[in-house]
Amino acid sequence: MTETEPPLGQLFFERTIRSSADRDPDNEARAEQTLRRPMAALEHYLDGRAWLVGDRFTVADLNLASVLTLMNRASYDLSDYPNISRWRGDCYDRPAYRRCYPG
């Protein structure tokens, strides 16, 4: 979480908060580059695992999944990360999440 949140926050800022005219393409590119390492590590870690810790959803999953909600608004492409995409989908498919973020 601590490795993904700062660069993801920068992407969110550039792609969502700033206007098109005010976007900083260098900041956006740096954020994308910085995210590659933790995303690759998480992708590898989730290979063959359903959850981050043990065999059930825990606060670790909740914590990281909550940070990764920024990806939706920042239009972050997960196509290179099928394990993260699967895991994130499982986290977001939980009833409590669906009550907080319907449809």
pTM for the complete prediction? 0.89
More confident position, 103 or 16: 16
Closest CA to 12 of 1, 23, 3: 23
Per-residue pLDDT tens for 15-58?
999 998 999 999 999 999 999 999 999 999 999 999 999 999 99
In this predicted structure, what is the pLDDT of residue 58?
Answer: 96
Instruction: With cut-offs at 50, 70 and 90, classify the pLDDT of residue 103.
Output: low
Mean pLDDT of 89-93: 94
CA–CA separation, 85 and 16 (whole Å): 21
Q: Could you give the domains of the chain?
A: 5-100 (1.20.1050.10)
